Amino acid sequence: MKSLKIIYYIVIAFIVLVAILLIVSAFPIPGNYKVLVVQSGSMEPKIKTGSIVVVKPEKDFKIGDVITFGPYSKTKAPTTHRIYDMKVVGGEPIYITKGDANNAPDTREIKKADIVGKVLFSVPFLGYAVDFAKKPIGFALLIIVPAALIIVDEIKKIYAEIKKKKTK
């Protein structure tokens, strides 16, 4: 019975974690940490497809930093690559990036204004759960159903407690 309770709390903690990540990734606040899902294998083996990356805005970047850049919308995800080279044009830094798994650097040059931030760390495979939770069926299965089960369980406990008090 005790191991069942431990599993119960682990599942609850996982659901809460996914819910928090879902909220943070769905409502990114400008200038704040962002949680994004990696969509491709261009950074493998360092960052696996389906990982989440935690990105922090920075003022300066250097060669070797892993950065996230590009547009961020519901239809277009930003790219996460390593800074391969940089040059200064008109006093502004221009970054050349490359995915660790790619053979050649990216052809697009990145301006500082296009950079979302520097990747602090990644968590493998958690992005699959966050992406699944963003879909209506995933949201229902990962958030609403477990929440309903918890509420029903608590109602049963309250009912049992009331029944005990009435019998006394």
The residues carrying an active-site annotation are 40
Q: How far apart are CA 32 and CA 12, in angstroms?
A: 27
Contact 65, 55 (CB under 8 A): no
Q: How far apart are CA 75 and CA 148, in angstroms?
A: 31
b (16+ CB within 10 A) / e for 49-58 = bbbbbbbeee
Place of tokens 């301006």: 111
Which of 85, 106, 96, 113 is closest to 40 using CA atoms?
Answer: 106
